[in-house]
Structure 1
């Protein structure tokens, strides 16, 4: 209940745009990569599409609540894995509670992004991984581990490295049942392969090219953010906002032989976080479940002294501080967002506009048609040279550098992308400038930040022959 409440209190974040849009569009029967661009591996839109279909206009808060529940499952799985590994109830509970105060986790499970589901899959695999490391693996555990780790990687590509690490580890002993583990991965391999075959260009761009090239292009104006020094500072800062840094220090050099797989998973998660440029806090989540299981095991064998307990409380408070600051406004951002979305729908109905809406903030449009070219929210639109004009047409994308290719959608919505949503006002302004230049009629949305730009030919007051 606490995690769900925090999810509703957390401010709007433009990162959520593409994940809400992907769930809605998939629920409508569109295919990722083929019918709309998706900038991650493909599993989450398919899993969350039924939620979008059931929640309707409340899809966005429903996805936040879903991620909060997945976060609760992640914390519980860490506790369970620690108990299976031999930690006392007290040590396992202490470690799981500290995990729950990490800002990395709280941010990741408090927004409608794609972090909570793969983290839950990885954490839910840990009890079986611990059993496998301590004893001979059962076929059931091997299949379960393979399925959960493959599901995590099929929802977020950074989890592929921990999954691959575990797979390689199983090959060194036959009693770890590597072939049964491989069997568990096959449904997710089949899904990924099918989508790759169906839309190879869209798949490769969304999963490989865009994540590798777009951040470098966007941060060229801020080269410091791309430096190794900035990366090291960011990593240490994010780990220190919560007990993760303390856990690394506390577990260093203290292990039983079977703990090695946990160390390998921690290292794989850290490498996965270091690979992207720049590094953000949610990128560190893959290393945390195994790290806090290790912490429980170490503190069971070597209980922390008074100084360590005081430090743990201090770091836990540091981890909670960003969340407390984020939710301290006294407002409920999700209710405000849903109110704004309801007013937008009301104005669209008043203007008799039924066609798809072009916007950098599709998360505000559950219940209305989203222009598939804007399924990625602001994240492709703000690029300049990742694709040429023909490729953009083929992949159903529009960048602000080639905004002329947008044509004349029935309506354009601006106002959701800005500093207030962790975005950039300039790219929303580019969309508004285009609408004004093309002769759209501006329709302010009362008591909100939003403005609708209605194409003249879409307005019921325009003459049938009147088109710009």
Structure 2
């Protein structure tokens, strides 16, 4: 009977893995992927912050860097599939945490599925960003916190802190989530809170080491740029009002609505208020504390984006599992109505990924195509110049080319497009390129320049690529159209 009983979970796991893998290949590039892909690529042969600028904590770049070595020419695909694997592991850990907390198998499965159906989870599972990795680490930390509440072991509290610290070393907006667990531990388990804190310090160690090796570049990339760069860019585009707190909260509600998250959160709050006089188990209180921390973490980054709600999803899943179990005691039809409503709310969360998969069936994978186009560009540059030096504000388009991307362009367009916010000397010191230092390329001119992917949008019309195009034209670079019809590859005049 046991193998037969395991059939459904195994089938569901296999189906989820297949779905995330397909969606990862079907989803077009997200604009912000450039810095994460480039960060991992450069980390495979250079030291982060010391040798190139990175605008995030280091852990994601370090853990994904081996994919550049192990899958040359197919790094884009490898990174997408690795992210999809992290998504599946996250869901398994969420299910295990619920089961360990005493939630029934059916409620745990439903809650896990509803979290998976949110637009934030679907998107984050399908692109190469530093959001799914810390979500996986934080979910493991949540599981260990649940075990620690039951077993009381110091090693479990230390382990929980360790993985919360590692999550922060990958993404800073997980700080409030870990802090919420720390606050809960101080009140509920004060004797063990120190072990949680020690674990967190151990988890933060990689980031602290990176900071010590290159403090100026670290603080600019991880702190200063986040506090100034987006505001400067939006203001320059006449869109500064979109970064107000009112816009931020409106965006946050919109992102939660895209999937079952908003309805789940509202139902959990209403259920908690209705049962406020009853003492719940510590695992439930832990979930409530973590939901508060997750909401703060979701609201902190600017501008607000869909993936920033990820710190909220693991504790939301745990609390939803508890509520679905409680709903068995509700009036007869209340639980089926709730489940049906959650199923209906999942539709907008699944629509974008579904559209991408349908598009791939008709036109092929955009990621496989981008990888092929990168190799085409590499072949053209080597054939026409005999060398491999290239610069671009879109490094994600070139990591599979085999070309040597100038390390000063590792942050993609982000530092370059707000280059007026720093002096040229500072840019050179932290290995960044800005328009004011573009003439530095003349000391050792690149063999090629790739442009065309940073040409502005309706909301943000400024075109960072324009200055690179002007540089190439002034120096008589020859233009080749990329196979995708978007990019333009400028080749240096032959010196032979």
Q: Give the TM-score of the pair, scaled to structure 2.
A: 0.87
Matched, 1:390 2:425: yes
Write out per-residue CA displacement over residues 243-272 of structure 1, whole angstroms, 9 at most, x where no aligned residue.
000111111142715122211111111112
Aligned partner of 2:11 in structure 1 is none
- How big is the shift at 1:186? 4.1
In structure 2, distance between residues paired with 1:209 and 1:416: 26
In structure 2, distance between residues paired with 1:296 and 1:336: 41
- How big is the shift at 1:363? 1.4
Alignment of 1:255-270 (within 5 A): 256-258=280-282, 259-270=284-295
- How big is the shift at 1:298? 1.0
Aligned partner of 2:263 in structure 1 is 246
- How big is the shift at 1:328? 3.1
Matched, 1:374 2:409: yes
**Contact map agreement 1:354 1:369 (CA 8 A) in 2:** no
- How big is the shift at 1:185? 3.2
Aligned partner of 1:87 in structure 2 is 103
Aligned partner of 1:190 in structure 2 is 205
Matched, 1:138 2:142: no
Structure 2 unaligned runs (5+)?
Answer: 1-17, 329-333
Secondary structure at 2:420's aligned position in 1?
coil
Matched, 1:291 2:316: yes
Secondary structure at 1:34's aligned position in 2?
coil
In structure 2, distance between residues paired with 1:267 and 1:402: 44
Write out per-residue CA displacement over residues 147-180 of structure 1, whole angstroms, 9 at most, x where no aligned residue.
2111100001111221222223323355662333
CA separation of 1:176 and 1:434: change in aligned 2, threshold 3 A: farther
Secondary structure at 2:307's aligned position in 1?
helix
**Contact map agreement 1:11 1:327 (CA 8 A) in 2:** no
CA separation of 1:356 and 1:137: change in aligned 2, threshold 3 A: farther
Secondary structure at 1:314's aligned position in 2?
helix
Secondary structure at 2:489's aligned position in 1?
strand
Aligned partner of 2:449 in structure 1 is 412
- How big is the shift at 1:87? 1.0
Write out per-residue CA displacement over residues 42-75 of structure 1, whole angstroms, 9 at most, x where no aligned residue.
1111111112210111111111100111001111
Alignment of 1:159-198 (within 5 A): 159-172=174-187, 177-198=192-213
- How big is the shift at 1:33? 1.0
- How big is the shift at 1:414? 1.3
Deviates most, 291-300 or 326-335: 326-335
Deviates most, 283-292 or 42-51: 42-51
Deviates most, 259-268 or 396-405: 396-405
Q: Give the TM-score of the pair, scaled to structure 1.
A: 0.92
Secondary structure at 2:51's aligned position in 1?
coil
CA separation of 1:300 and 1:418: change in aligned 2, threshold 3 A: farther
In structure 2, distance between residues paired with 1:292 and 1:49: 31
Q: 2:112 aligns with which of 80, 96, 111?
A: 96
**Contact map agreement 2:22 2:357 (CA 8 A) in 1:** no
Alignment of 1:409-448 (within 5 A): 409-418=446-455, 426-446=463-483, 448=485
- How big is the shift at 1:93? 0.5
Aligned partner of 2:380 in structure 1 is 347
**Contact map agreement 1:137 1:176 (CA 8 A) in 2:** no
Structure 1 unaligned runs (5+)?
Answer: 462-468
In structure 2, distance between residues paired with 1:368 and 1:423: 30
- How big is the shift at 1:365? 1.8
**Contact map agreement 1:353 1:411 (CA 8 A) in 2:** no
- How big is the shift at 1:447? 5.6
Write out per-residue CA displacement over residues 427-446 of structure 1, whole angstroms, 9 at most, x where no aligned residue.
22332122112332323345
Q: What is the Cα-based RMSD across aligned positions, in Å?
A: 2.2
Give the number of equivalent residue pairs.
457
Aligned partner of 1:308 in structure 2 is 338
